[in-house]
Structure 1
Amino acid sequence: MTTAVASRPETDPGGRSSFLARARTSPLARLVVRRVLIAIPLLVAVSILVFALLEAMPGDPARQQAGMDASEAEVEAIRQTMGLDRPAPERYLSWLGGALTGDLGRSSVSNRAVVDLLGERLPVTLEIVGLAFVLSIAVALPVALLAARRPGGFFDRLIMVMAMTLLAIPNYVLAILLVLVFAVLLRQLPAIGFVPLAEDLAGNLRSVILPTLALAVPLMCFYARFLRGDLVEQINSADYVDTARAKGAGPWRVLWQHAFRNSSFGLLTIVGLNIGTLVGGTVIIEQIFAMPGMGQLMLEGALSRDVAVVQACVFIFAAVAIFANLIVDVMYAVLDPRIRYGSH
C-alpha cells in the first residue's frame, strides 16, 4: 500500500520566493540590479580618490587644529586623537567599515558625529536642489515646445538670445546680480540666511528663492536650448513626423505626441549628466547666500582639513549623482522597453 505524499510547492504564490522569482525574470528588475552592482564599486572608487586627495593636501591637520603656538607634544596628542598616527590605508579601511554600518566618523573641529551634522545640513541642500531641478524642467519644457512650434519666429529668436546670454553668466555672478536686484534695489527678498520650513513656510520660501534661481536659471536655459534644437531636428528630418502629418495630425499633436517622445531620450541624458553639476553648484551658492547646507559644510571642512566631514559630503554628493543616473536608466527602459533586453 502506497501513501501519497503531498509535495510542497517550491514557491508560494503570495510569498517572498514568488516575488524573488518574478524579480529574476523581470528585464527591468535585472537592469536595476546591474546598475546597482555597478554603482557600488563607483562609490568606493570615489571615496578612495577623495581620501587620497585629502592626504596629498599640504599641511598638517593636527597642527592646524592645535594652533601655531602649540607644542609638539600637544600636536602629537591631537594627531593620535584624530588617528593620524596610523597608516593611511588602515585609516581608510576603518572609515569604510564604519560607513557600511552608518558611522561616518566624527568631526575633528566640532567633535560631533558627522551623521548628526549631515542630518542638520542635508535637508537645506535637498530643498534648494529639488526646487531648482523642478523649476528648471517646468520652465524649460513649455518654453522649448513654444520655440520649436515656429522655428525662426520672434519668440524662438528671443528665447535663444536670452538663453545664450544667461548661459554665458556663471552662476556665482548670477547669484550676486540677483542679490543686487531683489535684495538691495527692490528690497523684496532676503540676501542671506535660511528659515527652516517647520518654523515659517512663507519665510522659508522667501529665503530659498534667490539661491534656487541662481542654480535653476543656467540649467533652465541649457535644457530649453537643447530640447528646442532636438525638436526642430525631429520635425524637419524624421520620417514618422511626415507620416503623422499625412494622417492629418495637427502641428501641436505632431510636436507633443511624436517629436517630443523621441527628443525626451536626449533630454533625459542631459538631465542625468547635469545632476552632479546641480549638486556641486551648491558649494558656491550656499556660501554666497549663507545657507547652512551641505555645500557650505563641505567648504568649511575643506578649509579646516576636517577629513571626515569632506569625505562624507563628497560621498553623499556622488551617491546622489549615481542614483540620479540610475533613475534615468530606468526611465529609458520605461519609455522604450527594447532597452531592457538590449545590450545598451
Structure 2
Amino acid sequence: MATRPGADADRAPGRLAALLASPGARLVGKRLLMAVPILLGVSVLTFWVLNLIPGNAAQQLLGPEATPEQVRTLEQQLGLDQPGYVRYLGWLGSAVTGDLGTSLVSGQPVTSQIGERLAVSGELVGLAFVVSLGLAIPVALLAAYKPGRMFDRVSMLVSITGLSVANYVLALLLVLLFAVELALFPAIGFVPLSESVAGNLHSMALPVAAIAFPLFCFYTRFLRGDLVDQLQGEDYVTTARAKGIGPGQVLLRHAFRNSSFGLITVVGLNLGTLIGGTVIVEQIFALPGIGQLMLQAINTRDFVVVQACVLVFAIVAVLANLLADLLYAVLDPRIRYGSR
C-alpha cells in the first residue's frame, strides 16, 4: 500500500510527543529537575567554603614580599575586591550559559582548561570501572557458587586486605615495586592515546590499578555476600531448584539478576569516593587530569578553577546516579511506572 508523500513527516511530531510522554522520558526528566537544586547547592557550598580559606590569588601571585597596596591593586584588577555574593552571582550567570569563567592565575578560559584534561580523568575512571567490575563479577560468582570453599576464602581474604589499604598508599607501593624495583612501568607521566595506544595503556597501568583494586575488593565482597543471601534465604531460589533448574542457572539467571540491583546502587553511590581517589592518584602519577588541575588551583588560590572542577565532579556524580536509575528500568520495566 502506497503511503502519501510527507506522511512520515506528518507522523514525526506524534512520535516525538509519544517518546517524551513515555515512562523512561518522565523518569529522566524527573531526575534532571532534581539535579538542579543539588548542583546549585554544591556551587553555593563550594563558593562559601573557598572564601573561608585565608589568602587569595592576588597574594599568591605577588608573593610574600608584596606590599598591601600592590595586593589591593591586583585584587581590583581580578575583581576580588567585590562582595562575595556579587562574585558568585556573576559566576553563576556565566556558568548557566556554559562559561565557567577565566583562571585568575593563567588568564585562560576555565572551560578550555577542563576540556583539555577531561579525557585523561575520564579514561582513568572508565578503565578503573571496567577493570574492577570485569574482575569482581566473575570472582564473586565463583565464590558464591560454593561458599566456604578454598576459592571463596582466598577471595574474601584478598578483598578484606584490599579494603584495608587506602588507594594513595597502594599507589606508592605500586610505584615502589613495579616502577622502582622491577622497572616494568613508568612512575610518572602520561602518553596520549593519539600518540600510542600501547604507550597510553602502559602509562595508565599503575594509576588504574591503584584505583581499580580497592573497587574490585569492595564490589567482590558486596556482590558475593548478596548472592549468598539470595541463594540461601529466598523462596524463588527454592522454587527454581524444585523445578529441576541447575545450580549454575539458578545463580546466573535468578540470584545474580536480583543482586545486580544492589550492585548498580553501590556503583552509582561509590562514584564520589572514586573521584576523590582520582584527585590524589593523578597527583602521585603526574597525570594531567582534572584532579591535578584542581589541586594546583587550590595551591594558587585560583578559586574560579576550583569552583568549576567541583561543579564538573558534581555533574558527573548526578549523571552516574541517573544512569543507575535507567539501568534499573532496563533490568525491571515495572520500575518505569513506579513513583521513584
Q: Give the % identical residues.
A: 59
Q: Does 1:246 align with 2:242?
A: yes
Q: What pairs with 1:225-236 in structure 2 (closer than 5 Å)?
A: 225-236=221-232
Q: CA deviation at 1:108?
A: 1.2
User: In the alignment, what sits opposite 2:25?
Assistant: 29
In the TM superposition, what is the alpha-carbon distance from 1:74 to its structure 2 partner? 2.0
Q: Give the 5 Å matches for 1:30-109.
A: 30-109=26-105
How big is each residue's C-alpha offset from its partner over 1:197-225, in whole Å with a ceiling of 9 and x where there is no partner? 11121111110000000000001110010
Q: Which residue of 1 aligns with 2:128?
A: 132
Q: 1:330 aligns with which of 318, 322, 326?
A: 326
Structure 1 residue 19 displacement after superposition = 3.5
1:255 partnered with 2:243: no
Of 16-25 and 302-311, more deviation after overlay is shown by 16-25
Indicate the residue corresponding to 2:3 in structure 1.
none
- 5 Å-filtered alignment, 1:131-210, equals 131-210=127-206
Cα deviation digits, residues 204-252 of structure 1 (max 9, x gap): 1110000000000001110010000000000001111111111111111
Mapped to 1, the partners of 2:193 and 2:299 lie a distance apart of 29
| d(CA) in 1 for partners of 2:9, 2:221 | 50
Native 8 Å contact 2:57 2:105 kept in 1: no
Which residue pairs with 1:4 in the alignment?
Answer: none
The alpha-carbon deviation at position 13 of structure 1 amounts to 6.7
Q: Secondary structure at the match of 1:85?
A: coil
Question: What is the Cα-based RMSD across aligned positions, in Å?
Answer: 1.4
One-letter identity of the residue aligned with 1:316: V
Q: Would you say 1:224 and 2:215 are equivalent positions?
A: no
Give the aligned residue type for 1:299.
L
Match for 1:98: what amino acid? S
Q: Which amino acid aligns with 2:156?
A: M
| TM-score scaled by length of structure 1 | 0.94
> How far does residue 323 in structure 1 lie from its aligned partner after superposition?
0.3
1:60 deviation in Å? 3.6
**Residue ranges of structure 1 left out of the alignment (5+ in a row):** 1-10
Equivalent-residue separation in structure 2 for 1:36 and 1:15 (angstroms): 28
* Deviation, structure 1 residue 335: 1.3
Change (3 A) 1:22 1:13: farther
Aligned length: 334
Cα offsets for 1:183-203 (capped at 9, x unmatched): 111111001011111112111
Greater mean deviation of Cα atoms: 101-110 or 27-36: 101-110
Aligned letter for 1:174? L
Tell me, in whole angstroms, the C-alpha distance in 1 between the residues paired with 2:249 and 2:329: 24
Judge conservation of contact 1:23–1:30 (CA < 8 Å) in 2.
Answer: no
One-letter identity of the residue aligned with 2:106: S
Q: Distance in 1 between matches of 2:10 and 2:194?
A: 41
1:331 Cα deviation (Å)? 0.9
- From 298, 301, 305, the equivalent of 2:297 is 301
